[in-house]
Amino acid sequence: MFCKRLINCPSLQLLKTSFVYRPQAIPPINLFRKMSTVGKPIECKAAISYKPKAPLVIDTITVDPPKAHEVRIKIVNTAICHTDAYTLSGNDSEGMFPCILGHEGSGIVESVGPDVTTVKVGDHVIPLYTAECGVCKFCKSGKTNLCGSVRATQGKGVMPDGTVRFHNSKGEALYHFMGCSTFSEYTVVADVSVVAIDPTAPLESVCLLGCGVTTGYGAAIKTADVQKGDTVAVFGAGTVGLSVVQGAQSREASKIIVVDINDNKETVSRQFGATDFVNPTKLPEGQTIVDKLIEMTDGGLEFTFDCTGNVQVMRNALEACHKGWGQSIIIGVADAGKEISTRPFQLVTGRVWKGSAFGGIKGRSEMGGLIKDYQNKKLKVDEFITARRTFDEINEGFEDLHNGTCLRTVLKF
Ligand SMILES: NC(=O)C1=CN([C@@H]2O[C@H](COP(=O)(O)OP(=O)(O)OC[C@H]3O[C@@H](n4cnc5c(N)ncnc54)[C@H](OP(=O)(O)O)[C@@H]3O)[C@@H](O)[C@H]2O)C=CC1
Ligand SMILES: N[C@@H](CCC(=O)N[C@@H](CSC=O)C(=O)NCC(=O)O)C(=O)O
Ligand SMILES: [Zn+2]
Ligand SMILES: [Zn+2]
């Protein structure tokens, strides 16, 4: 024990100061070696999905070091998107088990493999399920944000070289998911599937730009390119749908009608910019949602958006479009085996069916702009966080999705 006089001794203070300061500036070499994980496998916590419909199992996994053109990320926050639940339900034709789900995350680069030039250790990053290589046919076309560089292996749950970086405690291989796998304390992604962001942006919030917010906002301002005065209907008031609403509002749409089967969504829809709310299950007998929307807009809408994944809703959304020019944008992901249909006459008479993935946003070149929009309060993000949980509560986070008021549960490691 130090006596009080000794603690207050100026020379000891100086000694204490220099002792505290030096290790931060130049770590003693053996301490640095002990701390560094670069080039080594990391053991960490992850939520493993062993089979469809089963709760996720939190366990220790091994995450291998990144190979060439790969990046290992320490995930700080991840949210749960409806698509994670969809794949977990077993209805995703690309669903591979056992796997590490999660694709709406944010984190910090822990290490990079050879030939990585676009991010560096310590960068704050968002993993991208829609890669952007800049050199493939898709990227060079200037017509789409869909990049062909890693999509084939991504859909098979493996890295571009065909192997995985995750193993469970028994040494069994675990598949990757959507090129992201954010339900792990550490993950490995392709260098084309990650973007560095402004380090002052709060990771807890901007993880939502990894999917839901970007998808809806981009679908309105890029895919549809809504213009001032346009009329818009959004089916499904989840994070994706409400982000369409804020995109339409930012473009000064004259009418933004939210259609949702849950009356609890009316208040929040109006907070995000909806001018009207319709519950299709509460219409007078004999009136369909298509009739109602056409009546409300003098013949139909300029733009409709499906944010439900329900194929009957997709049909209604198309048929509520204005004859001659109305466009319906499909964003929702439908169960394996489901198909859309309508009378071809609907298209002959000028309605257009389109789709939108990740809002048409090119993640590496356009994410910075979205972060700025958020920082300048032009884009709401924090408002989507309806619950915060620790990573250990991930299964409760999946249950939140069904509680009727949930937009996004954000998990913290
Ligand atoms: N294309 C893309 O790039 C992306 C697609 N997606 C997909 O978009 C969809 C929306 O995702 P997300 O916002 O996270 O999901 P949510 O589940 O949070 O939102 C969907 C909303 O639609 C409502 N709904 C369900 N059925 C109907 C119906 N028949 N008519 C009107 N509203 C209905 C739901 O109500 P209730 O809660 O009562 O069920 C809920 O409010 C999902 O299918 C998801 O997989 C997501 C991200 C990216
Ligand atoms: N695997 C599914 C298709 C899933 C799908 O459509 N995904 C969306 C993103 S959903 C995000 O939450 C998407 O962007 N698709 C484009 C893509 O290249 O995957 C199936 O097989 O039906
Ligand atoms: Zn998603
Ligand atoms: Zn590409």
Q: Is 33 a catalytic residue?
A: no
Catalytic residue among 37, 118, 151, 393: 151
Q: Is the peptide bond before 114 cis (omega within 30 degrees of 0)?
A: no
Q: What local confidence, expressed as pLDDT, does residue 35 receive?
A: 77
Catalytic residue among 211, 307, 321, 406: 211
Catalytic residue among 69, 72, 78, 82: 82
Q: What local confidence, expressed as pLDDT, does residue 11 receive?
A: 37
Say if residue 173's pLDDT is above 70: yes
For range 395-413, the mean pLDDT: 95
CA angle 11, 16, 21 (to 5 degrees): 125
The CA R_g of the chain, rounded to the nearest whole Å, is 24
The structure's pTM equals: 0.93
Q: Is 136 a catalytic residue?
A: yes
Q: What's the CA-to-centroid distance between 240 and ligand 1, angstroms?
A: 7
Q: What's the CA-to-centroid distance between 19 and ligand 3, angstroms?
A: 47
The sign of the torsion formed by the CA atoms of 171, 175, 176, 177 equals negative
CB 398 near ligand 1, within 6 Å: no
Atom 12 of ligand 2: nearest residue by CA position: 83
pLDDT (tens digit, 9 = 90+) per residue, 118-162? 999 999 999 999 999 999 999 999 999 999 999 999 999 999 999
- Under a CB-based contact definition with an 8 Å cutoff, are residues 307 and 234 in contact? yes
Q: What local confidence, expressed as pLDDT, does residue 186 receive?
A: 98
- Under a CB-based contact definition with an 8 Å cutoff, are residues 331 and 239 in contact? no
Q: Is 389 a catalytic residue?
A: no
Torsion of CA 43, 49, 54, 60, to 10 degrees: 0
C-alpha to C-alpha distance for 122 and 261, rounded to whole angstroms: 44
Q: What's the CA-to-centroid distance between 333 and ligand 2, angstroms?
A: 7
Q: Is 406 a catalytic residue?
A: no
**Taking all residues of the chain, what is their mean pLDDT, rounded to a whole number?**
93
Say if residue 196's pLDDT is above 50: yes
Q: Is 82 a catalytic residue?
A: yes
Which one of 136, 192, 333, 356 would you pick to mutate in the ligand 2 pocket, going by the greatest count of ligand atoms within 8 A of its CB? 333
Atom 13 of ligand 2: nearest residue by CA position: 357
**Domain ranges, ordered by start, for the chain:** 29-210+380-412, 215-358
Confidence class of residue 5 from pLDDT cuts 50, 70 and 90?
very low
CB 145 near ligand 2, within 6 Å: no
Q: Which residues of 97-127 are buried (b: 16+ CB within 10 A; e: fewer)?
A: bbbbbbbbbbbebbbbbeebeebeeebbbbb
Confidence class of residue 30 from pLDDT cuts 50, 70 and 90?
low
Atom 16 of ligand 2: nearest residue by CA position: 357
For range 50-76, the mean pLDDT: 98
For range 93-105, the mean pLDDT: 97
CB 239 near ligand 1, within 6 Å: yes
CB 334 near ligand 2, within 6 Å: no
- Under a CB-based contact definition with an 8 Å cutoff, are residues 167 and 160 in contact? no
CB 371 near ligand 2, within 6 Å: no
Q: Is 104 a catalytic residue?
A: yes
Q: Is 133 a catalytic residue?
A: yes
pLDDT (tens digit, 9 = 90+) per residue, 327-370? 999 999 999 999 999 999 999 999 999 999 999 999 999 999 99
Fold assignment, 29-210+380-412: Quinone Oxidoreductase; Chain A, domain 1 (3.90.180)
C-alpha to C-alpha distance for 64 and 165, rounded to whole angstroms: 5
Fold assignment, 215-358: Rossmann fold (3.40.50)
CB atoms within 10 A of CB 390: 11
Q: Which residue has the higher pLDDT, 290 or 34?
A: 290
Q: Is 307 a catalytic residue?
A: no
For range 248-261, the mean pLDDT: 98
Say if residue 1's pLDDT is above 90: no
